[in-house]
Amino acid sequence: METSYRTAPHASKEAFAVAPGVWGLKTVFVNLYFVASPDGSWVLVDAGVYGAAPKIRKVVDELFGGKRPKAILLTHGHFDHIGALKELAREWEVPVYAHPLEMPYLNGKSSYPPPDPSVGGGGMAYMSFLYPKKPIDVSEYLELLPTDGSVPGLPDWRWVHTPGHTAGHVSFFRESDRLLLAGDAFITRDGESMLAVMTQKREVHGPPKYYTSDWGSAHRSVEKLMELNPGIAATGHGLPMEGGLLMRQLEELVKDFWSVAVPGQGRYVHEPAIADEQGVLSVPPATDNTIPKVIAATGIVALAGVALVAYARRSGQDNRRKQQERAMRVRPFSHNRPLQGIPPTVAATLDEDDPQAHTNNYP
């Protein structure tokens, strides 16, 4: 007998359906998930990028009539998965559950190991030295996931420790239909390509290379998830995949992991970062990332140049109309408008260019 999930009578215009009682929402380049229980309650899995709260609230209104969740569950605490966390936890006054090894990045004690733009592979990787690195502090709401593998608010689910991308990364699994919320343990699009953010081509990939700090653990985690024989996989990046195609590509990923998922070079390729419940203990030496930074800077300048050329061309074509309208309104310059598909960044100061910036003083 199929379980029924009591939600609002109309579907969400923003969210995509994953499986009965589960919906996903893409926020710029990362997914979060709304998971319902048969009793009508629900939980939020991850919290998207900074600025995602209004979009999340809209989906909550559409799916659950504005009712707050029982909890917020985190696969891990990277910046693109906790952007709206503090705002929503405070507004909803609900607990935030995570693995013990994620706690120092959520209670303000430690930054993650620095991202590694030297892995290359595309714009997402080259720009990673710009991504926010500081921890957040939601300690007022933090709770540990139960040690027995049960999931608060979701009695028919269990959590699985899947370290590698981060030390305390977890995934969530529903046995009844073998639905897997994998987080970033593996993803279903190319994690390094800016183009893949837009095309969303479905294919199984390893975790995002520029933010994975323990490749041996990452390999074992993908193998652990493959052994669950998932029927559907919804990940942190990319569209859901299911059935035979999913399993074939997962098996191939496990078999060829060190040649297809692990970068040919990079800070953590031969030596992992070491962390415990207090935060990062050590990281390997940084590799030379001058070229990726130059490529990233060149790309940003090129994007701005294209925008300015397009703006100038449009200005020339519409000059008469714009002269009439100029007195009535002020047009923002195109390079001051956010570019679609580009992840939020922090200011590229000299401190931010330092891959050790906003991290512990590692021994």
pLDDT tens for residues 19-34?
A: 999 999 999 999 999 9
pLDDT at 119: 96
pLDDT at 41: 97
324 lies in a domain?
A: no
Inform me whether the pLDDT recorded for 362 exceeds 70.
no
152 lies in a domain?
A: yes
Distance (Å, whole) CA 306 – CA 288: 29
Mean pLDDT of all residues in 227-235: 98
pLDDT tens for residues 53-100?
A: 999 999 999 999 999 999 999 999 999 999 999 999 999 999 999 999
346 lies in a domain?
A: no
pLDDT at 325: 46
Mean pLDDT of all residues in 108-125: 94
Distance (Å, whole) CA 255 – CA 267: 23
Helix axes 243-255, 215-227, angle to 10 degrees: 150
HSE-up (13 A, CA, CB side) for residue 19: 24
pLDDT at 363: 36
Burial 285-308 (b: 16+ CB within 10 A, else e): eebebeebbebbeeebeeeeeebe
4 lies in a domain?
A: no
Distance (Å, whole) CA 180 – CA 163: 16
pLDDT at 328: 40
pLDDT at 196: 77
Distance (Å, whole) CA 223 – CA 323: 63
Burial 229-265 (b: 16+ CB within 10 A, else e): ebbbbbbbbbbbbbeeebbebbeebbeebeeebbbee
Mean pLDDT of all residues in 275-285: 97
Distance (Å, whole) CA 355 – CA 359: 9
Inform me whether the pLDDT recorded for 8 exceeds 60.
no
Q: Which residues pair with 159 in a beta bridge?
A: 172
261 lies in a domain?
A: yes
128 lies in a domain?
A: yes
Mean pLDDT of all residues in 341-346: 38
pLDDT at 50: 97
Which residues, at least 6 apart from 267, have a Cβ–Cβ distance to it below 8 Å? 114, 116, 118, 283, 284, 285, 286, 287
Q: Which residues pair with 238 in a beta bridge?
A: 188
The one-character DSSP state at 274 is E
Distance (Å, whole) CA 179 – CA 163: 19
pLDDT tens for residues 192-220?
A: 788 877 888 899 999 999 999 999 999 99
Give which of 189, 351, 363, 336 is closest to 282, Cα–Cα. Answer: 363
Domain interval for residue 172: 16-282
CATH (domain of 126): 3.60.15.10
What residue type is 103 in one-letter code? M
Q: Confidence class of residue 12 from pLDDT cuts 50, 70 and 90?
A: confident
> How many structural domains does the chain have?
1
191 lies in a domain?
A: yes
Report the share of the chain in percent with pLDDT over 70: 77
pLDDT at 3: 65
Inform me whether the pLDDT recorded for 353 exceeds 60.
no
pLDDT at 133: 81
141 lies in a domain?
A: yes
Distance (Å, whole) CA 156 – CA 111: 33
Report the share of the chain in percent with pLDDT over 90: 70
Secondary structure tally for the chain: helices H, strands E: 11, 15
The one-character DSSP state at 339 is P
pLDDT at 68: 98
The CA angle 116-82-145, to the nearest 5 degrees, is: 105
pLDDT tens for residues 286-340?
A: 987 555 455 544 444 344 433 333 334 444 444 444 444 443 443 333 223 333 3
Helix axes 290-317, 319-326, angle to 10 degrees: 90
Give the residue ranges of DSSP H helices in 80-193: 85-92, 103-106, 123-126
pLDDT at 230: 98
The beta-strand segments (E) located in 184-293 are 232-235, 241-242, 274-276, 279-282
HSE-up (13 A, CA, CB side) for residue 298: 8
- Alpha-carbon distance values, 339 to 131, 260, 300 (Å): 16, 30, 10
Average pLDDT over all residues of the chain: 84
Inform me whether the pLDDT recorded for 282 exceeds 50.
yes
pLDDT at 10: 53
Distance (Å, whole) CA 65 – CA 200: 30
Q: How far is CA 284 from the centre of its chain?
A: 24
pLDDT at 316: 46
